[in-house]
C-alpha cells in the first residue's frame, strides 16, 4: 500500500490509542512486525501553545518508522499550525483524528463530533493539506449515530481535499466499542474513493483479520485493542497473509518475558512512578486468560516497583506450568 509517496510493507498497523500506544508500546509492536504506527492523539490547540505533554507524546524514536503524528481539534487554522509543528518531530505522515468517541474529545467538538459537520471537515483537511508536505491521512468512524451514517460522504470530502488515505472504524460514535463492526459501510467507503482505505475494528486474530479483508475489500488493516497484551498479533498476521503459516501462541514464559521487557521500557521512558502505574493495565492485559488471572490482577493493581512485577511474573509462570 502507498500513502502518498510512502510505501507501506506488511499487513497491519498499530492504531492510535490514548494512554496506550506510547513510544514503549509502539517500539514493541514494530519489533513484532507492525507495518506502521500512529502516535497517541495530540490536541492541536495544546501543541500550538507549546504544551510540554503534547510535545512528549510526539517523540518518535529511530526504531518506529513509518509512524504518523496524530492531531485533533475543530479549528482549521489551529489544526494547520499544529500539523506544521507536528512535522518538526520527524513523523512519516500526519493523521487527523475524526473518530475518537471519548466525551472529553467529542464533547468539545473534536474527534468524532466532526462527523456532524462535513463542511468543517472539508475546511480542516484543506488547511492541513496546505500546511504540510507530508502524506496526510484521516481516521473516521462510520457516522455519529445510526441515523446519521455518512462515512462515504466524509471519505469523498477527505479525498477531494487532498487526503492520501483514510482509516475507517466500523462503528458510529454512539456505539463506542460494543456492537459488531459494520463491514458493509467500510466496504461502501472503499468503493466510494480511489485512495487507500484501512479497515479498523475488532481485529483480534487471523479469522477476524481475514473477515475484514474479505468483507470490505479494504487495502490494509489497523489493529487496536487486539494488540493489548498481544503484540504477537502482528507477527502472526504477517506470517499468515504472506505464506499461509499459522504460528502458535506464545508460551507463558514468553508472555511474561515480553511483559517485563515492555514495563522496563515504560519505566525507562517515563520514570518508575508513572511507568509502574501505567504498568498495571498493561500487565493485566498480558495475563488475560491465564490460570489464576483474577487473583493476579489484584496484585497487579498494587504494583509500585519493577522488582514486584518480576516477582509476580515468576509466580505466574510457576502457577501456569
| Bridge partner list, 13 | 222
Task: Report pLDDT for 289.
Answer: 86
Which pLDDT belongs to residue 136? 98
pLDDT for the residue 247: 96
Nearest CA to 163 out of 191, 199, 188, 127 is that of: 127
Q: What is the mean pLDDT of each run of 10 residues along the chain (321 residues)?
A: 96 96 97 98 96 94 96 98 97 97 93 96 98 98 95 98 98 91 98 98 97 98 97 98 95 96 96 96 93 87 93 89 74
CATH topology of domain 2-243: TIM Barrel (3.20.20)
Specify whether domain 252-320 bears CATH 1.10.1200.80: yes
**What is the pTM for the complete model shown?**
0.95
Q: How far apart are CA 249 and CA 100, in angstroms?
A: 31
Report the phi/psi class of residue 90: left, alpha or beta, with left for phi > 0 and alpha for psi in -120 to 50.
left
| C-alpha–C-alpha distance, residues 292 and 23, integer Å | 30
pLDDT for 321: 74
Q: DSSP letters along 221-243, please?
A: EEESGGGTT-THHHHHHHHHHHH
pLDDT number for residue 39: 98
Across-strand partners of 95? 70, 137
Residues classed as catalytic? 100
CB 312 within 8 A of CB 296: yes
| CA quadruple 209, 210, 211, 216: dihedral, nearest 10 | 90
Give pLDDT, residue 295: 85
CA nearest to 37, candidates 6, 70, 4:
70
Domain ranges, ordered by start, for the chain:
2-243, 252-320
In 3D space, the residue among 88, 93, 96 whose CA is nearest the CA of residue 72 turns out to be: 96
**Phi/psi at 58 (5° precision):** -95, 5
Q: In this predicted structure, what is the pLDDT of residue 318?
A: 86
- C-alpha to C-alpha distance for 70 and 41, rounded to whole angstroms: 5
Give how far Cα 222 sits from Cα of 161, 170, 226, Å: 23, 12, 10
Amino acid at each position: 500500500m502507498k500513502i502518498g509517496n510512502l510505501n507501506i510493507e506488511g499487513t497491519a498497523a498499530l492504531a492510535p490509542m490514548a494512554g496506550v500506544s506510547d513510544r514503549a508500546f509502539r517500539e514493541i509492536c514494530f519489533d513484532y512486525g507492525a507495518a506502521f504506527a500512529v502516535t497517541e492523539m495530540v490536541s492541536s490547540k495544546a501543541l500550538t501553545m507549546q504544551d510540554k505533554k503534547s510535545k512528549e507524546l510526539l517523540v518518535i524514536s529511530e526504531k518506529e518508522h513509518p509512524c504518523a503524528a496524530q492531531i485533533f481539534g475543530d479549528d482549521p487554522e489551529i489544526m494547520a499550525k499544529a500539523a506544521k509543528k507536528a512535522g518538526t518531530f520527524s513523523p512519516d505522515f500526519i493523521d487527523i483524528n475524526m473518530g475518537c468517541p471519548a466525551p472529553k474529545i467529542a464533547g468539545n467538538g473534536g474527534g468524532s463530533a466532526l462527523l456532524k459537520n462535513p463542511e468543517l471537515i472539508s475546511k480542516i483537511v484543506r488547511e492541513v493539506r496546505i500546511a504540510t508536505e507530508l502524506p496526510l491521512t484521516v481516521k473516521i468512524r462510520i457516522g455519529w449515530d445510526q441515523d446519521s451514517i455518512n462515512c462515504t460522504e466524509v471519505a469523498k470530502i477527505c479525498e477531494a481535499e487532498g487526503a492520501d488515505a483514510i482509516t475507517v472504524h466500523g462503528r458510529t460514535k454512539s456505539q463506542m466499542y460494543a456492537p459488531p463492526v459494520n463491514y458493509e459501510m467500510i466496504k461502501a467507503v472503499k468503493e466510494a474513493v480511489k485512495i487507500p482505505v484501512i479497515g479498523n475494528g475488532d481485529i483480534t486474530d487471523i479469522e477476524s483479520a481475514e473477515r475484514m479483508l474479505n468483507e470490505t475489500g479494504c487495502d490494509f488493516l489497523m489493529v487496536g485493542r487486539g494488540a493489548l497484551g498481544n503484540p504477537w498479533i502482528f507477527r502472526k498476521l504477517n506470517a499468515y497473509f504472506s505464506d499461509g503459516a499459522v504460528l502458535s501462541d506464545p508460551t507463558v514464559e514468553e508472555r511474561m518475558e515480553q511483559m517485563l521487557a515492555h514495563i522496563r521500557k515504560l519505566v525507562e521512558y517515563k520514570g518508575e512512578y508513572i511507568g509502574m502505574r501505567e504498568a498495571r493495565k498493561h500487565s493485566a492485559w498480558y495475563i488475560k486468560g491465564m490460570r489464576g488471572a483474577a487473583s493476579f490482577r489484584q496484585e497487579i493493581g498494587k504494583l509500585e516497583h519493577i522488582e514486584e512485577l518480576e516477582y509476580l511474573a515468576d509466580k505466574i509462570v510457576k502457577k501456569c506450568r
